[in-house]
C-alpha cells in the first residue's frame, strides 16, 4: 500500500471511529477528498472500494458512499439492506492497448456504484492448469527451476497453458508428462481461482493426481528442471524458507496439507 493510499484510508477510518462521520452520514465527494487530502482520484476510488468491500462504508447508486452500521464490538458489518443495495460495476467499453498471443493489456471504461466513470487497466493472460501428483509414499512430484522474472530458483508443480478448445484436465495431465516424463493417474479438479483478481484475468485451475507412471524423459526443454519426488511433510519447511514459486504451487500444496489424514492422538 502506498503512502498516500494509506494516509487517505487512515484519515477516513479516523473520521468514522471518532464519530466525526456518524453512521448513515454521506462521505465527502470523490472530488473533495482528492482536493482536500492531496491525493489522486484513482487513489480515492481504490480506498473507497476497499472500505466498501470491508463493510465500513456502503455505496448508493448515483448518490455516493455512506458510513455503514457497525456491531457493538466495533467490527464492521454489512446489513441486509446494504447488501441489497450493492451493485456490480457497470462496464461501458474496452479498448486494447497491447495484444499478442501471450498477453493483452486493455483499458476498461468502468463505473463503480456511486463513483464517476474511469478507465481501469486490465491484463488478460492465458488459462492455466497446475497439478499436484502424489504417490503412495505421500510424496509430491516437483521441479526445481530458475525463473528469470523474479530472478531466482525455486520448486514448482508442473503446469502450463490450456490450449484453445482443450479440456483443462487433459491439459493438466499433458503438462505433467511433457515437463517431467511421468504420466499421472486420473486428475481430480480441486479449485479454479484468479491470482490477482483486481487487475489480472488469468484463470488458474488446480488438479490433484494419485500416482504416476514413468514413460520417458521430459519433452518440453524450455520448462525442464530438476525433477524430484518431495515428501509432503517437507512442504511446510519449504514454505517457511521461501523455496516455492508461483501461486498455483502454493494453492495446490496447501490443499494437500489441509486434507491430509489426521494421525490419532498419541500415535507414534
CB 199 within 8 A of CB 158: no
Q: How far apart are CA 77 and CA 69, in angstroms?
A: 7
pLDDT at residue 95 in the model:
95
Residue with cell 489480472: 200
What is the rounded distance in angstroms from the CA atom of residue 255 to the CA atom of residue 191?
Answer: 10
Judged against a pLDDT cut of 90, whether residue 62 lies above it is answered with no
Residues 6 or more apart whose CB falls under 8 angstroms from that of 84 comprise: none
Average pLDDT, stretch 43-54? 86
* 3 exposure class (CB count in 10 Å sphere: 0-12, 13-18, 19+): exposed
Strand bridging mode 226-231 / 204-210: unpaired
Strand locations in 79-225 (E)? 90-99, 104-111, 118-124, 128-134, 139-147, 152-156, 159-161, 182-184, 187-193, 200-201, 204-210, 212-214
The residue with greater pLDDT, 90 or 230, is 230
Calpha distance 187→197 (Å, rounded): 26
Rounded CA-CA distance 167/186 in Å is 14
User: Could you give the angle at the alpha carbon of 164 between the alpha carbons of 163 and 169, nearest 5°?
Assistant: 55
Q: pLDDT digit string (tens) for 150-196?
A: 999 999 999 999 999 999 999 999 999 999 999 999 999 999 999 99
Ramachandran region, residue 211 (left: φ > 0; alpha: ψ -120 to 50; beta: rest): left
Mean pLDDT value of segment 30-35: 88
Which residue has better confidence, 263 or 43?
43
Amino acid at each position: 500500500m502506498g503512502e498516500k493510499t494509506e494516509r487517505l484510508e487512515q484519515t477516513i477510518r479516523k473520521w468514522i471511529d471518532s464519530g466525526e462521520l456518524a453512521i448513515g452520514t454521506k462521505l465527502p465527494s470523490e472530488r473533495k477528498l482528492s482536493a482536500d487530502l492531496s491525493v489522486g482520484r484513482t487513489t480515492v476510488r481504490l480506498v473507497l472500494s476497499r472500505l466498501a468491500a470491508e463493510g465500513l462504508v456502503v455505496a448508493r447508486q448515483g448518490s455516493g458512499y455512506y458510513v455503514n452500521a457497525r456491531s457493538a464490538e466495533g467490527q464492521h458489518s454489512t446489513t441486509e439492506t446494504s447488501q441489497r443495495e450493492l451493485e456490480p460495476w457497470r462496464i461501458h467499453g474496452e479498448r486494447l492497448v497491447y495484444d499478442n498471443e501471450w498477453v493483452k493489456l486493455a483499458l476498461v471504461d468502468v463505473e463503480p456504484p456511486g463513483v464517476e466513470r474511469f478507465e481501469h487497466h486490465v491484463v488478460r493472460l492465458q488459462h492455466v492448469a497446475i497439478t499436484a501428483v502424489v504417490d503412495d509414499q505421500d510424496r509430491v512430484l516437483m521441479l526445481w527451476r530458475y525463473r528469470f522474472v523474479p530472478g531466482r530458483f525455486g520448486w514448482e508443480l508442473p503446469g502450463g497453458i490450456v490450449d484453445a478448445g482443450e479440456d483443462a484436465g487433459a491439459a493438466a495431465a499433458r503438462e505433467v508428462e511433457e515437463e517431467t516424463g511421468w504420466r499421472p493417474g486420473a486428475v481430480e479438479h480441486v479449485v479454479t481461482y484468479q491470482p490477482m483478481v483486481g487487475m489480472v484475468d488469468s484463470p488458474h485451475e488446480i488438479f490433484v493426481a494419485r500416482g504416476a507412471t514413468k514413460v520417458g524423459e521430459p519433452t518440453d526443454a524450455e520448462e525442464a528442471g530438476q525433477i524430484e519426488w518431495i515428501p509432503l511433510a517437507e512442504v511446510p519447511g519449504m514454505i517457511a524458507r521461501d523455496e516455492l514459486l508461483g501461486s498455483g504451487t502454493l494453492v495446490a500444496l496447501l490443499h494437500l496439507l489441509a486434507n491430509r489424514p489426521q494421525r490419532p492422538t498419541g500415535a507414534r
